[in-house]
Chain A
Amino acid sequence: MREITIGQYIPGNSVIHRLDPRTKILITFAFMVLLFVIDDFTGYAFPAVFIIVASLLSGISLKYMIRGLRPLVVIILLTFVLNLFMIKGRVIYEVGPLDITYEGLHQGVFMVLRLVMLIVGTSLLTLTTSPITLTDGIESLLKPFSRVGVPAHELAMMMTIALRFIPTLMEETDKIMKAQMARGADFSSGNIVKRAKSLVPLLVPLFISAFRRADDLAMAMESRCYRGGENRTRMKQLRMTYADLVAFIATGLLAAGSLASRFIW
């Protein structure tokens, strides 16, 4: 349960950690778009270098980020296998009724690269940005849309609370599971019906505790006079610095480089 590292924040004080969250969100967006626009291998050299440099700067080892892929291995493999067999073209190998084609292999490797970079790139955002700062950034970016009815503050507050309670709920789940296992509960064997039934002793206490926590939190917020985002000021103002400018320029160069590469080669 606690092995899942995707989306986890690792506290630190690197250049990347200190960047404005808005910068990181925008760059991550641009990076994602870029990954979908690039359609050849040489183009991918640029985002690959980008990830490596960013991870070196952030002080978080690439190995750790790759480990974060583990829960998604099935999806990645499935992508590869589907591409490998489904795409028609020059046959290079036959496995029974299925053909492996040159195009399929090419496309499979390509899609896996795309997925891996997508995951690693976005996890770099969450790994280096605390959930609170992240939602501050999102709120600030959404602010201009509040005129057209987007509840920016409320959305951000909901996200903050949800993110805040994920670890707590995981801990709680772990604890209740163990407590029921100590009473002989078995969560991992039997058919689907039996397994679904075995979840009742886990889910009921979990819901009760979540509601209790929600109640407490609402009470605590109300007793501190919380009443939404109106006229609310912040203790920590977001501020762009030269480092952010450098980051934007680097991203611009990255985009230009990877798009230009297809014309050069």
Chain B
Amino acid sequence: MPIVVKNLTHIYMPGTPFQSVALQDVNWTIEDGEFWGLIGHTGSGKSTLIQHLNGLLKPTSGEVIIDGVNINERGVNLREIRQKVGLVFQYPEHQLFEETVEKDVAFGPKNMDLPEEEIGRRVREALELVGLNYSEIKDRSPFELSGGQMRRVAIAGVLAMKPKVLILDEPTVGLDPRGRDEILREIVRLRERQNITVILVSHSMEDIAKLVDKIAVMHRGRMVDSGTPREIFRNYEGLSSIGLDIPQITHLMLRLKHQGKDVSTEVLTVEEAEAEILRAARRKGRA
């Protein structure tokens, strides 16, 4: 189910002295099974944009078409849309409220009016998808878990609705490096196992560059660039002028190139860089 965003503009509190234009003329198409990274500085409009993708916000002007349904139309079934497009908010652990982990994760499926045993099955599955041990954790209070565990429970709460598109708003914010790597690894695994479309929002290129297939860059409410990571990094001057950094390793390759070395700069991981440098060295040796 593709999502198409056409000329989307969003203005918060229009007509007041507090009016702020959060999105301006954004165009974006998300195809089935794609893995997108949405990147931009704080305040660039990322969160506002993704809240349109499941109808939590309505466009001030422009269109958002989800699986062929325009969310502007009267009488659209927003609940159905929100079930298809799962949105994990920033700091999702702040939305936990039930006495036990099991009940909290069941909140979403329950709202979908599924039968009991189906709910139970989904809760177990979702908790295991985020790397938690179902039988160990199901009866604990979500409030006595560690920060990383709480976040996983909250993500499981969205996964239990079996969305076809999963959007995560800065899922690694506030976690230690280990927690961050774990969550990112689980997202990648999840995508492989469930074969769903994923949009990962982040303000750090380092985090997402090597994971995603495509990157969309937001700056001051506009989508200034989109394409594969390699395409995006080609324009590294443009990126640094809007305060976004390319990954360290891509930086290194650019430096080498500047020094006159014959290397490709379209490199995203340390392994790729190693291979590329060796290749360049060998080429030089032969010449």
Q: How far is the CA of A183 from the CA of B92 in the complex (A)?
A: 11
Q: Is the interface of A mostly helix, strand, loop or mixed?
A: helix
In the complex, how many angstroms separate the beta carbon of A167 from the nearest chain B beta carbon?
11
Q: How far is the CA of A185 from the CA of B82 in the complex (A)?
A: 10
For A74, list chain B residues within 8 Å (CB). none
In the complex, how many angstroms separate the beta carbon of B157 from the nearest chain A beta carbon?
6
**A3-B13, A176-B95 known; A183-B107 Cβ under 8 A:** yes
In the complex, A208 has a CB within 8 A of chain B: yes
In the complex, A10 has a CB within 8 A of chain B: yes
Identify which of residues 10-62 in chain A touch chain B, using a CB-to-CB cut-off of 8 Å.
10, 60
Q: Name the residue in A3, A175, A176, A184 with the highest tally of chain B Cβ atoms < 10 Å from its Cβ.
A: A184
B79 with A184: CB separation less than 8 A: yes
In the complex, A168 has a CB within 8 A of chain B: no
Q: How far is the CA of A201 from the CA of B13 in the complex (A)?
A: 26
B97 with A181: CB separation less than 8 A: no
Residue in contact with A182 in the complex, picked from B15, B17, B82, B94, CB distance below 8 Å: B82
In the complex, how many angstroms separate the beta carbon of B83 from the nearest chain A beta carbon?
6
**A2-B13, A184-B82, A186-B111 known; A179-B97 Cβ under 8 A:** no
A185 with B158: CB separation less than 8 A: no
In the complex, B143 has a CB within 8 A of chain A: yes
Residue in contact with B17 in the complex, picked from A3, A64, A180, A186, CB distance below 8 Å: A64
Q: How far is the CA of A250 from the CA of B51 in the complex (A)?
A: 51
B86 with A182: CB separation less than 8 A: yes
In the complex, how many angstroms separate the beta carbon of A59 from the nearest chain B beta carbon?
10
Q: How far is the CA of A209 from the CA of B97 in the complex (A)?
A: 11
In the complex, how many angstroms separate the beta carbon of B86 from the nearest chain A beta carbon?
7
In the complex, A79 has a CB within 8 A of chain B: no
For A179, list chain B residues within 8 Å (CB). 89, 92, 94-95
In the complex, how many angstroms separate the beta carbon of B161 from the nearest chain A beta carbon?
7
A183 with B97: CB separation less than 8 A: no
In the complex, A225 has a CB within 8 A of chain B: no
In the complex, A193 has a CB within 8 A of chain B: no
Q: How far is the CA of A155 from the CA of B279 in the complex (A)?
A: 73
B13 with A184: CB separation less than 8 A: no
Contact with B along A206-245 (1 / 0, CB 8 A): 0011000000000000000000000000000000000000
B89 with A184: CB separation less than 8 A: no
For A180, list chain B residues within 8 Å (CB). 95, 107
In the complex, B240 has a CB within 8 A of chain A: no
Q: How far is the CA of A179 from the CA of B96 in the complex (A)?
A: 10
For A183, list chain B residues within 8 Å (CB). 82, 95, 107-108, 111, 157-158, 161
Size of interface on A: residues with Cβ below 8 Å to B: 24
In the complex, B242 has a CB within 8 A of chain A: no
In the complex, B259 has a CB within 8 A of chain A: no
Q: How far is the CA of A200 from the CA of B98 in the complex (A)?
A: 9
In the complex, B87 has a CB within 8 A of chain A: yes
For A209, list chain B residues within 8 Å (CB). 94
In the complex, A133 has a CB within 8 A of chain B: no
In the complex, A178 has a CB within 8 A of chain B: yes
In the complex, B56 has a CB within 8 A of chain A: yes
Identify which of residues 182-204 in chain A touch chain B, using a CB-to-CB cut-off of 8 Å.
182-186, 200-201, 204
Q: Considering only CB atoms, which chain B residue lies closest to A68 in the complex?
A: B16
Q: How far is the CA of A182 from the CA of B79 in the complex (A)?
A: 8
A176 with B82: CB separation less than 8 A: no
Residue in contact with B97 in the complex, picked from A10, A186, A205, CB distance below 8 Å: A205
Q: How far is the CA of A64 from the CA of B51 in the complex (A)?
A: 28
In the complex, A5 has a CB within 8 A of chain B: yes
Identify which of residues 162-182 in chain A touch chain B, using a CB-to-CB cut-off of 8 Å.
175-176, 178-182
For B83, list chain A residues within 8 Å (CB). 184
Q: How far is the CA of A236 from the CA of B95 in the complex (A)?
A: 40
B16 with A182: CB separation less than 8 A: no
B94 with A205: CB separation less than 8 A: yes
Q: Considering only CB atoms, which chain A residue lies closest to B163 in the complex?
A: A182
A181 with B82: CB separation less than 8 A: yes
Q: How far is the CA of A5 from the CA of B51 in the complex (A)?
A: 24
What would 27 A/B residue contacts be, using CB atoms closer than 8 Å? Answer: A10-B17, A60-B17, A67-B15, A175-B94, A178-B51, A178-B89, A179-B95, A180-B95, A181-B82, A182-B56, A182-B82, A182-B87, A182-B158, A183-B82, A183-B108, A184-B79, A184-B83, A184-B108, A184-B111, A185-B111, A186-B79, A201-B95, A205-B94, A205-B95, A205-B96, A205-B97, A209-B94
